[in-house]
Chains A and B, each alone.
Chain A
């Protein structure tokens, strides 16, 4: 099993567009997944919910992008949009999503089905509820393989057993016949990863893969994902709210707030030299063992309702640095996503003029 992508099941009918050279990833490589100006809106009885607003990012093969944000920031919604999993009748999606050069937005359900589970796979958050309780694990993995490959049940079973072994599940033959509720939490997540990777996808979207697991198991799962990436060279989009996970795994980081990207850069840039008050708040709120006697420092306030976003910068009601911007621009003008220094790949969405010095002087000391 070298990391070759099977050619059966690829849709020849999708017209290939020229890859847009302008969207380069923060690390400077040509991307496999390109999301441009993605907007996802849900019309509801109470108004239009803008879950995602003008999101753009790119991920090359072999690299991991971590999308970080609170609940309701739009991180899961944007990834479901990449797979086309939203209900067409209840969702308005605009913008561009290109996977391997092929445009996904506006694709028919029939063509989307060919991509899902094959070129792009998703690993979901809670394996307890994300695996079908009434079918054996082996059955579900084989099914994932047989959707995109016309093979017999025996061949699919062999493949499923290979995958179970690959993700480190002992006794694959016995486990194949078991049901999800007979697995432990960590093993269930491994089984989900096996199911996601069974068709050698070039893009893996992992939506909070470790949130439902305890810390020791979390480390194992992240190691597994890292190793699989090294071996098969897939692009990974890792959705998480846990900055520890980000530090472990991410090459690039995108911070989301209220449906918009507020900071985007390499992991080193964003974690060591963050340039947005929201990111500062996130870093400050991480509890540390050394500061055991100090109170926790959360970001004050709550995320805004997506039905009625604040005018100007969405973060302004909670931002402690709002007054340092002249003329109350934060409440009136939405900041653009601009490079933090000259022309780098590290961008942030904030009006503050002297972000670097504020960070060095005030925030960094508090981080210990």
Chain B
């Protein structure tokens, strides 16, 4: 078991490392010039420009820049900007070029927002999505099934950002039926926290329920035709128990894989939702830092995203071994 964990850990770390390298390389391949961006359009003298470049270590060889960055994650770094020495404790993800704050600090303020959004989203898709899918599976081939599935198809055919924009515009701004999106930390005001997240939850949740409904339906249809479901019915169990106790447990297994990866991706930033509903989360941070060519922030968010993805993969594996005893022995 220990060997298994160690192997997974090593492969996880390599994934993260490769992602970092690729992102770093991409940054320099792209026509970016953070020094120019910071220097500004006007009033930018060559001397100031060079100063900025030097302070940001942009004049050093790229490999060295990468090495300094990675070393900083474990050991911390000191930065010198215009004579001021700033210390960056481990894990040091660098200082934002644009806002001159430690990246870790930025991430810390943004992460709770994204987590709140994704938590609500997870609850919605796992309850409504799976329930709708199971209902459709039980009534496979009937009108009810067809209605459910065609409506999911119709909804998911509309691009997400259009749905989100329309709802935001028509249901929160023009006609305030739903509360406007926005973030208040739960520690400040739980009611406002809930209200600000309600509309984004509904939008991203219901939209993705279509996906989960389809996956669950497919998986449940397969499971419901298994022999052990017939045995359960032969024991005299009610239809409800057969579906939601016996079938769902097996039927959920493929859905969990999808869920794990989906959550990982969402945690890395539900970009559209955050932008449209004005939530200062990771997604918004990524957009801003890309616009500003803010390399440390980009690297920081990429690092966080890949760590989350790898961690979720790992958690999904663990979840399997809990749910499916056949997996445990291998």
Within 8 A of A (CB), among B189-246: 226-228, 230-239, 246
Candidates A118, A124, A148; contact of B231 at CB < 8 Å: A124
Minimum Cβ distance to chain A for residue B139 (Å): 9
Docked Cα-Cα span, A124 to B249, in Å, equals: 22
Minimum Cβ distance to chain A for residue B257 (Å): 16
Asked whether B237 lies within 8 Å of A130 as measured between CB atoms, the reply is: no
Identify which of B29-37, B56-64, B128-136, B318-326 touches chain A. B318-326
Asked whether B227 lies within 8 Å of A129 as measured between CB atoms, the reply is: yes
Minimum Cβ distance to chain B for residue A76 (Å): 11
Asked whether B232 lies within 8 Å of A132 as measured between CB atoms, the reply is: yes
Minimum Cβ distance to chain A for residue B216 (Å): 17
Asked whether A116 lies within 8 Å of B233 as measured between CB atoms, the reply is: yes
Asked whether B239 lies within 8 Å of A132 as measured between CB atoms, the reply is: no
Asked whether B246 lies within 8 Å of A132 as measured between CB atoms, the reply is: yes
- Is residue B172 contacting chain A, with contact meaning CB distance below 8 A? no
Asked whether B324 lies within 8 Å of A134 as measured between CB atoms, the reply is: yes
Docked Cα-Cα span, A134 to B249, in Å, equals: 8
Measured CB to CB, the nearest residue on chain A to B237 is A147
For the complex of A and B, list the 7 residue pairs with the smallest distance between their C-beta atoms, beginning with the closest.
A117-B236, A116-B236, A117-B235, A129-B227, A132-B228, A130-B227, A179-B325
Minimum Cβ distance to chain B for residue A311 (Å): 33
- Is residue A83 contacting chain B, with contact meaning CB distance below 8 A? yes
- Is residue A356 contacting chain B, with contact meaning CB distance below 8 A? no
Report which B residues bind A (CB closer than 8 A).
142, 226-228, 230-239, 246, 249-250, 323-326
Docked Cα-Cα span, A89 to B144, in Å, equals: 14
Identify which of A107-115, A239-247, A264-272 touches chain B. A107-115
Given contacts A113-B238, A179-B326, A181-B326, contact A124 B233 (CB under 8 A): no
In the complex, what residues of B have CB within 8 A of residue A131's CB?
Answer: 228, 231
Asked whether A126 lies within 8 Å of B324 as measured between CB atoms, the reply is: no
Docked Cα-Cα span, A276 to B142, in Å, equals: 44
Docked Cα-Cα span, A308 to B325, in Å, equals: 46
Asked whether B228 lies within 8 Å of A148 as measured between CB atoms, the reply is: no
Candidates A113, A126, A135; contact of B236 at CB < 8 Å: A113
- Is residue A33 contacting chain B, with contact meaning CB distance below 8 A? no
In the complex, what residues of A have CB within 8 A of residue B324's CB?
Answer: 133-134
Minimum Cβ distance to chain B for residue A315 (Å): 30
Asked whether A195 lies within 8 Å of B228 as measured between CB atoms, the reply is: no
Measured CB to CB, the nearest residue on chain B to A83 is B234
Docked Cα-Cα span, A337 to B85, in Å, equals: 104
Asked whether B326 lies within 8 Å of A195 as measured between CB atoms, the reply is: no
Chain A, 14-29, contact with B by CB distance < 8 Å: what is the 0/1 string? 0000000000000000
Asked whether A147 lies within 8 Å of B233 as measured between CB atoms, the reply is: no
In the complex, besides A85-B234, A116-B234, A116-B235, 18 extra interface pairs with C-beta distance below 8 angstroms are A83-B234, A85-B230, A109-B239, A113-B236, A113-B238, A117-B237, A121-B234, A122-B231, A129-B226, A132-B228, A132-B231, A132-B232, A133-B325, A134-B249, A134-B325, A143-B237, A147-B235, A147-B237
Measured CB to CB, the nearest residue on chain A to B233 is A85
Docked Cα-Cα span, A109 to B237, in Å, equals: 11
In the complex, what residues of A have CB within 8 A of residue B226's CB?
Answer: 129
Docked Cα-Cα span, A26 to B50, in Å, equals: 106
Within 8 A of B (CB), among A316-345: none
Docked Cα-Cα span, A144 to B237, in Å, equals: 8
Q: List 18 A-B contacts (CB under 8 A).
A: A113-B236, A113-B238, A117-B235, A118-B236, A122-B234, A124-B227, A124-B230, A124-B231, A126-B227, A129-B227, A132-B246, A133-B326, A134-B249, A134-B323, A134-B325, A143-B235, A179-B325, A179-B326
Minimum Cβ distance to chain A for residue B239 (Å): 7
Measured CB to CB, the nearest residue on chain A to B247 is A132
Measured CB to CB, the nearest residue on chain A to B249 is A134
